[in-house]
A and B are shown apart, each in its own frame.
Chain A
Amino acid sequence: MKKIISLLILMVIALSALSIAHADPEQDRKSIIKFFETRFVGIPLSEYVNGVYAYDTIGRESWEAIEEFPPYEIAIEKGQDMWEKPFANGKTYTDCFPDGPAIAQKYPHWDKKQAMVMTLPLAINQCREANGEKLLKYKKGSINNILAYIAFESRGKKTHVVIPKDAPGALAAYEDGKKFFFTRRGQLNFSCATCHIQNAGNRIRSDNLSPALGHTTHFPVYRSKWGAVGTLHRRFTGCNKQVRAKPFKAQGEQYRNLEYFLTYLSNGLELNGPGSRK
């Protein structure tokens, strides 16, 4: 009898471990939200769009002062010019994005035809390519202008990442991004989660660590350290290098899937890009 009970207990444990390993996206999102709600009691979910400033009250003061004269304003203006100026063939971005420019909430999404995660920067370059224009670089430079304009026009829309059930590749891409996020990498053996979940709110050197929740709502970001506006994948690159892991290609499969997972976590949170950070 005792044996049967202990066997049963073992089975239950095994089953629950299994369900954690293969949790569905909604379950992942909820358990991560619950983690933060428990750690930062009283901070409303909507605050997470402000990154580390959701709880770094000292840093928040200087950040709010900077936001009064936003350093990304020029980028927005230049981006608007880019959006409105016709390509050499006479067409414009509106021909590719008829609902534009407020379209940031549609990305990233699963592209059924191309069977891959489609991000906004990639869609912009596919549009340019189709119209015979030069491709933009994915980390620095003028791609950030058009992204800043689109982000600004999309303010107030909500993050809404869908993982379509009828496309098995979509869930696989999500799982892949999730695995990337939790995998320890580099000589320092850290995962994204080590810093941005487990140690969110703790200091590393002079930085207070931001929560993964809300990470994607405000890109592109003007960073004082960069002295420029940069893309989300530029940020991924820097975070990989910090732990002495070799970064991956911006807009390559690894970072696109990571973006799919990371953005999904912020579902329901308001878009508030472009942002400014230290």
Chain B
Amino acid sequence: MRQIEASTITQTVEKLCIDANYFLGQDVIDALERSLKTEEFCIGQRIIRDILENARIAREELAPLCQDTGFTVVFVELGQEVEIVDGNLKEAITKGVSQGYTKGYLRASIVKDPLKRINTKDNTPPFIHIDAIQGKQLKLTIMCKGSGCENMSRHIMLTPAQGRKEIVDFVVETVVRGGGRPCPPLIVGVGLGGTFEYSAYMAKKSLLRPVSSHHPEPHIKELEEELFEKVNNTGLGPQAWGGRATALAVHVETCPTHIASLPVAVNIECHSHRVKTVTL
């Protein structure tokens, strides 16, 4: 067994939270720059330039990219030959989030109870997904995700007969209904198949792929391209003030499903796409 100390996990998570909120990924910057070239509307171009400028200020002045520093989702890939010592995994991650949000001057945006709504003051708890993998590695991926875009996400249980066309309509309708609220340009994550909850998980996981990367299967790549074109033909554009760049990318993930089911989940992500990964 390989031993990893809980405190190492805490320190890693702390740093990932801070880095994610200050340093926009190069894949997002590249996608923004590509969208600037295709944007037809002068004000849309200005918005994209402002978003790029915002990323520069955030990086240079250590100011959070967005005031909604998000809820924290942590995807853990835990090698089966790893033993966590001097603590436990979930507590170590939670402590890392607490320290990261406090030391990094990040906003505490979590309430303890959905009805009583009292702020926990340190953005805990994070939402943790743990996957067991082969080997001696521990991979931690942090996503700090705003709620403006999360709130515009939708889910539907289609029937197999409805198929591809209904999927496309549902995704495009979800983007149009969101309008300016999720801060376009967006990254649209789609989960197809699985079960009710697994489709939503895949939609979120699809957002972890490098922005604008494609699914390896040709028919899914084609679907991504069709969705990308249709979403960018809605006319919403940056911030929904008008234009072409409604989305920077559409990512689709699929998995096996029941003969009677076609679950579709759409997880909407904004341009302030804060994802960081470390393998210990």
Partners in one complex: no
Interface residues of B (CB under 8 A from A): none
